[in-house]
Amino acid sequence: MNNQPTLLIEDLAFAYPDGNQALYGVNLSINKGERVALLGPNGAGKTTLVMHLNGIHPTAHGRVTIAGQVVDTSDKAAIKNIRSKVGIVFQDPDDQLFMPTVGEDVAFGPYNMGARGTELEQIVDDALNLVGMAEFKERPPHHLSFGQRRRVAVATVLAMKPEILVLDEPSSNLDPASRRELADILRSLDITIVMVTHDLPYAFELCERSVILSGGIIVADGKTSKILKDESLLKTHRLELPVGFSL
C-alpha cells in the first residue's frame, strides 16, 4: 500500500448544469513528492479538474482518490478530511485572506480543525517561516504587496499540512523578484505539488513532469523538457514559449 499514488484520477468526466462538457474521461496518477505542471489553453478543463481534488465539484463520473481515500462529497466527514489533505492556492490571494492580521489568516484553518494555544501558535509560525513571512505575522494582509500576499496565501494552505499543494497560476501578476522568491520557496517544500500555469518557463523551472489538458482530455504527459521542445504539440494546444527562451 505504500506504493499507492498520492493522487489517482480514474476516468473522470464532468459536465456543468448548462450541458457544457468540461472533462471527457481523465486518467492521471501522481506519486508522493512529485511536482507536476498542469498545462493547457483557456477552457481546457484545468480549473474544473482541480476543483474535483477536494470535492468542490462532486465526482459525477469516475473516481478521484487522495492518499488512498476516495473523494466522496456525500460523506461530510470524509470531505473535511480530504480538504485538509488537498490545499488549493487560488490565483488571487485576496480570495483567501480575510482576517485582520496575517497570523490570524494562517491560524484560521488549523483552528477550525481543533488546534489551540501553543500548538496553534507553533503551526502558524512554522507555516510563515516556510514562506519567509514570519516578520509580518501581526500585519494586516491588505498592507502587503501582491507577492507577499500570495506567499501568505500559500502559508494558509501549508498550515493545514496537506498531502498535495495545488497552485493556480502561481506566477501571475508577480514582478521578477517576487516570482523568483516564490520559486525558491516552492522548490524548498517537501510536498507533492500540482501547478496549473500558462507560464511555461515556470513549469520548466519547477516541475520535472508536465501534463497537457486540452478539450477535456489529457493529450500529453511526460518530462517537461521533452514536452516544451515539441513545437507542434505546443502550437496545436495554444501554448507558447516566450520569444528568446531556450531550453
Domain assignment present for residue 128? The answer is no
H or E element, residue 39: strand 35-39
Domain assignment present for residue 205? The answer is yes
Count: domains in the chain: 1
The span from the first CA to the last CA of the chain, in angstroms, equals 37
Which grid coordinates belong to 93?
A: 490571494
Domain assignment present for residue 95? The answer is no
Q: Is residue 215 within 8 Å of residue 20, measured between CB atoms?
A: no
Domain assignment present for residue 137? The answer is no
Count the neighbouring beta carbons within 10 Å of the beta carbon of residue 187: 11
Domain assignment present for residue 211? The answer is yes
Domain limits for position 49: 7-90+161-236
pLDDT at position 1:
43
> Residue 56 burial by CB count (10 A; 0-12/13-18/19+): exposed, middle or buried?
middle
pLDDT along the chain (247 residues), means of 10: 83 93 95 96 90 91 94 88 91 93 96 94 97 96 95 96 94 93 94 95 96 95 96 94 83
Phi first, then psi: give them for residue 88, nearest 5 degrees.
-110, 125
pLDDT at position 77:
86
- CA atoms in the 13 A half-sphere facing the CB of 58: 7
Strands 21-30 and 35-39, bridge-based pairing:
unpaired
pLDDT at position 180:
94
DSSP 65: E
Alpha-carbon distance of 205 to 141, in angstroms, equals 29
Domain assignment present for residue 132? The answer is no
Taken in order 89, 90, 91, 95, is the CA torsion positive or negative? negative
Domain assignment present for residue 61? The answer is yes
H or E element, residue 81: helix 76-85
pLDDT at position 177:
93
Domain assignment present for residue 70? The answer is yes
> Residue 176 burial by CB count (10 A; 0-12/13-18/19+): exposed, middle or buried?
exposed
Alpha-carbon distance of 136 to 185, in angstroms, equals 17
CATH of the domain at 55: 3.40.50.300
